[in-house]
Amino acid sequence: MAKKILVTEDLVQEGIDALTEQGYEVDMLIDPSPEELIGAIAPYDALIVHPNTRVTPEVLDAAENLKIIGRAGVTVDNIDIEAASERGIVVCNAPTSNVISAAEHTMALLLAAARNIPEASASMHAGEWRRADFMGSELYGKTLAIFGLGRVGGLVAERAAAFGMNLIGHDPYCSPERALHLGVTLYDDVAPVLAQADFITVHLPRTVNTLGMFGADEFAAMKDGVVLVNAARGGIFNGEALADFVAAGKVAAVAVDSFEVEPCTDSPLHEFPNAILTPHLSPMTHEAQRRASTQIAEYVTTGLEGGLVATALNLSPVPAEAFDTIGPYVHACKMMGSMASQILGHTPKSLKVELAGAISEADPAPLVAAVLDGGLAYRRIGAFTAANAESIAARHGISVHASSVRDAAEYASSVRIEADGVEVAATLFGTEHTPRIISLLGYKIDIAPAACSLVFEYVDAPGRIGVIGTVLGEAGANITTMQIGTKPGEGCALVYMNVEGTVDEAVLDRLREAIDLRNLWKIVL
């Protein structure tokens, strides 16, 4: 019997043909309601979704045969990836399909804002001729600040350079080598970038750190007459605060293509003629849609045939022949990669991965891929695999070295990583293969990390834990488990605390004030 694929978006015909030519049965259910999707999904082996199609745990519970979910584009906010992972369902996307279109749309918005094109066009359509009212600015010689130098940000840099713009940028995960190649002067801090920029464009994922990243303080720190563009993700600019600065004339023009809630038919910016608003057009070209459709058809086909899906966003694939040996360590390695990345605060230049004990003879490549996957997960570049990890690491300026040792000390096996000097080691515990951190920054500990943890490093002295507990208790946060680690010959201690409840920056600042800390990190896994 032919495998069945349900498609909820209007793929171009080339994508549909690529699936049917492989012998799959393809059905269309365009923009279904949640109830319609739940009622229809049971017999299907694969699902290709529109960004408006919500793939919830309820949908997945009804998906009796589902093996893979494809998104013919980049964003996957509409898919509950964690719930899919729990059910063994691969989630993949087509992350490179619209990067050229997105970069070109960004340049179109920059030019439209600089030259007042929408207002001038509206004036002409109204039967007017008001040349003097639409005096614009050249891009040549102006300073463009690019926040986020990934695929799209890099393409924008190349195109802006051709206009003769001076390029500066901020991206804590961009290597200096990549910035140099793009001709971008990279800054570690946001403040000097804001102060210099004539134009600002953002190319960032939407995360807890980037949502509302630009608010009243940031707009106030910008040059008078700055032009802003967001063709990335909605909510990076605080809309209400931005409207105030547009009204005051501080921001000369703004162009927005992506909104926090879509469809967006009303916002604080809608009243301003110098606010260019487009309905998420960055991926809307014939070429991008054709690439997205054919690419996702290829990835879904690969997944249905049991192959490694290059853009899988979950379930980092381990070859079947190696799964029994190292498969259980994939989650632990992703966790360690994420932890090291959060402690560092930037992409490492150097990554070392060491396999020890019973797994020392295994191929380390899939676990190296898992570490990188965790460390760079915020970019949603797709799961790293043994086949692509080396090339993606090189693109991000990361030197990777893998090794193995037979002795895992008191453990049967373990994996140790070191990222720019930040050391993390883990082993697995019990029949559930629960990851446990056994060393962090050279401190010996033994704890299973929770979703939210605090890591303290301080000069050891009586009463520290009591003070920490008091501050967290007053904030309504609960300590669930805790481990204290020491280093031989040193007077410092490291405390790893799993916590529940709200631990925001204000709470972290109170902890820093209450205790003489060497370091404090909040780790979210």
Q: Is 291 a catalytic residue?
A: no
Residue 402's Cβ-side half-sphere holds a number of Cα atoms within 13 Å equal to 19
Interatomic CA distance for residues 471 and 500, integer angstroms: 14
Output the CA–CA distances (angstroms, integers) from residue 112 to 148, 194, 229, 336, 406, in the order listed.
22, 21, 11, 45, 62
Set 128, 138, 158, 262: catalytic member: 262
How does DSSP classify residue 507?
A: H
Three-state secondary-structure class, residue 35: helix
Q: What is the torsional sign of CA 80, 81, 84, 85?
A: negative
CB atoms within 10 A of CB 271: 11
CB atoms within 10 A of CB 2: 11
Which two tokens mark 73?
A: 């584009």
Interatomic CA distance for residues 514 and 509, integer angstroms: 9
Are 120 and 143 in contact by the 8 Å Cβ rule? The answer is no
Instruction: Say if strands 478-486 and 492-500 run parallel, antiparallel, or are unpaired.
Output: antiparallel
φ and ψ of 63, to 5 deg: -85, 85
Interatomic CA distance for residues 371 and 84, integer angstroms: 21
How does DSSP classify residue 150?
A: S
CB atoms within 10 A of CB 13: 9
Closest listed residue to residue 362, CA positions, set 423, 319, 399, 424: 319
Q: Is 151 a catalytic residue?
A: no
Which two tokens mark 286?
A: 């014939």
Residue type, 313: L
Set 233, 291, 380, 464: catalytic member: 233
Q: Is 416 a catalytic residue?
A: no
Interatomic CA distance for residues 501 and 412, integer angstroms: 35
Long-range contacts of 8-13 (CB under 8 A, 24+ apart): 8/32, 8/37, 8/47, 8/48, 8/49, 8/50, 8/53, 9/48, 9/49, 9/50, 9/51, 9/53, 9/72, 10/50, 11/48, 11/72, 11/293, 11/296, 11/297, 12/289, 12/290, 12/293, 12/294
Q: How many residues does the chain have?
A: 525
Residue type, 300: V
Set 105, 203, 280, 436: catalytic member: 280
Residues with a catalytic annotation lie at 233, 262, 280
